[in-house]
Structure 1
Amino acid sequence: MTAATAPRDDLPPRLTRLTFHGPLSEARATAMVRRLAATRPADVLDIGCGWGELLLRLLAAVPGARGVGVDLNAADLERGRRAAEARGLAGRVEFAEESAVGTVRDPADVVLCLGASQALGDDPAGALRELRRLVADGGRVLLGEGFWQRVPTDAELSRMWPGASAADHHELSELVELAVAAGFRPEWTETANPDEWEEFESAYQADKEVWLAAHPGHPLAAGTQEHLDAHRTAWLTYRGVLGLAYLTLVPTTA
């Protein structure tokens, strides 16, 4: 390995403080895995899996089950592969760098889609129809999806993500109704609490904030600060306005 290709130890680390890429506590994750494992799935499909932490925990809880995680982020997928190897699960899981749009993957007994419905389409209704196609009869879908706890004001929207609109999310009741219309019954409805949100958002920023404090003159410092400050402004604006629902859905059969 030459000096030009050697890893840089002065670059900002990426998401090392996060266990899950979303506002999800250990207690809630444990309960979710327990409920899903009770259905004894033979196969699990994780859409927009990132590093697949919940996927790996579910496979560990169901000996013999096999899983596939689909994502476009190569670094996250490699983190998932390393975790699978460390936990003795490498032979039962595939982390695939591919798009989930129109995927021809076979229906699975459990489909996970946590904060990643955009990987299946532009709107939750279309994503839910895709999830119904991808789950086997008698299986389960665990969907993590944003919703408005209250409709944000125009001033609030202007401080969120670029182009933020009140049409970006539904209210929780509307989201559940969309799931029913797509061919599901809601077995379990729960929402991330403020502690889960604050832990996630703080951990999402923490690595780079600490790095920036120690490297103010680094060539990447200005861009890193701009990104951190913009995200913090958005978070502290949608705090208490944007919610995250976790819906455990049972497919209806004809």
Structure 2
Amino acid sequence: MTLSSDHPPRLASLTFHGPFSEARAERLVGRLAATAPRTVLDIGCGWGELLLRVLGAAPGATGVGVDLNGEDLARGRAAARERGLADRVLFAEESARDTGRGPADVVLCLGASQALSAAEPPRSAVEALHALRRLVLPGGRVVLGEGFWQRPPTANELAGMWPDARADEYLPLGDLVDAAIDAGFRPLWVETASEEEWEEFESGYRCDAEEWLAAHPDHPEAAGTRARVDAQRATWLRGYRRVLGITYLTLVPVG
């Protein structure tokens, strides 16, 4: 990758916008494709990497990705063209709240439950599960990627996280799975991001900016970029590392 001197690059080294490995993607896409979906809906899709992989593995399917970030959606459209999927996928720049998209055979929502609810966490995750239940067709699949506390955070860890981080901001994993059942699902697969996946994601999230900073230390944008990435790294290393987990729940609707 050639680093532009104009602006620091944004997330160019990330394949997935989260702690999500190639091996996990392969397994999950295989399970979803085996259900022979005709329609796929991705809520908070970003650049839609998982959406495109499901479409690539399910030749009869069409997909819609919904997000508010135009830059990410443009990246998704470019990837769709490169893979010959442009005629089978729509990337829509719009809110997912009360969306009229769907219902679909497969609904993806990875790290984007807040796109489906205006409630404060963790209520937003609970409300998102009910919204996802309405968006999936009978016999379909929902994949929810959602944060959970691996253990209760200490006061010092909370202080090192994002502003106003709260000990009740996330549910424990067991409570989150119970919330999925209460929303009308059965949990087919419960899996969690590994420490290796977290490190790959956290390092990849900043590595392009770090390389740009090393090459352009006196650029007018360098001071602001340096402060931002240093703060992000500290939030992880001094705050939520080994405390915040991410689970990937594959859910099937009941009835």
Structure 1 length-normalised TM: 0.95
Amino acid at match of 1:64: G
Provide runs of 4+ in structure 1 moved above 4 Å: none
Q: Does 1:116 align with 2:107?
A: no
Q: Secondary structure at the match of 1:167?
A: coil
- Give me the whole-angstrom Cα distance separating, in 2, the residues matched to 1:209 and 1:89: 33
- Tell me which residue corresponds to 2:74: 78
8 Å CA contact 2:9–2:209 kept in 1: the answer is yes
Q: Does 1:229 align with 2:225?
A: no
Amino acid at match of 2:50: L
Q: Any unmatched runs of 5+ in structure 1?
A: 1-7
Amino acid at match of 2:66: V
Q: CA RMSD in A?
A: 0.8
Deviation of 1:54 after TM superposition, in Å, equals 0.5
Q: Secondary structure at the match of 2:84?
A: coil
Deviation of 1:210 after TM superposition, in Å, equals 0.9
- Tell me which residue corresponds to 1:61: 57
Q: Which moved more, 1:208-217 or 1:64-73?
A: 208-217
Amino acid at match of 1:116: A
Deviation of 1:106 after TM superposition, in Å, equals 2.4
- Give me the whole-angstrom Cα distance separating, in 2, the residues matched to 1:215 and 1:188: 45
Q: Secondary structure at the match of 2:35?
A: coil
- Give me the whole-angstrom Cα distance separating, in 2, the residues matched to 1:248 and 1:194: 20
- Give me the whole-angstrom Cα distance separating, in 1, the residues matched to 2:140 and 2:163: 37
- Tell me which residue corresponds to 2:212: 211
From 12, 16, 34, the equivalent of 2:12 is 16
- Tell me which residue corresponds to 2:249: 247
Deviations 1:1-58 (A, max 9, x none): xxxxxxx742101111100000011000000000000111100000000000000000
Q: Secondary structure at the match of 1:91?
A: helix
- Give me the whole-angstrom Cα distance separating, in 2, the residues matched to 1:77 and 1:136: 25
Q: Any unmatched runs of 5+ in structure 2?
A: none
Q: Secondary structure at the match of 1:11?
A: coil
From 26, 31, 52, the equivalent of 1:35 is 31
- Give me the whole-angstrom Cα distance separating, in 2, the residues matched to 1:165 and 1:214: 38
8 Å CA contact 2:41–2:102 kept in 1: the answer is no
Q: Which moved more, 1:156-165 or 1:43-52?
A: 156-165
Deviations 1:152-172 (A, max 9, x none): 011111110111111211100
- Give me the whole-angstrom Cα distance separating, in 2, the residues matched to 1:40 and 1:171: 33
- Tell me which residue corresponds to 2:94: 98
- Give me the whole-angstrom Cα distance separating, in 2, the residues matched to 1:227 and 1:163: 18
Q: Secondary structure at the match of 2:168?
A: helix
Q: Does 1:202 align with 2:186?
A: no
Deviation of 1:222 after TM superposition, in Å, equals 1.3
Q: Does 1:132 align with 2:128?
A: no
- Tell me which residue corresponds to 1:152: 153
Q: Which moved more, 1:53-62 or 1:153-162?
A: 153-162
Structure 2 length-normalised TM: 0.95
Task: Report the number of matched residues.
Answer: 246
- Give me the whole-angstrom Cα distance separating, in 1, the residues matched to 2:12 and 2:251: 31
Deviations 1:102-153 (A, max 9, x none): 1011200000000111111131110000000101111000000000000101
- Give me the whole-angstrom Cα distance separating, in 2, the residues matched to 1:127 and 1:220: 37
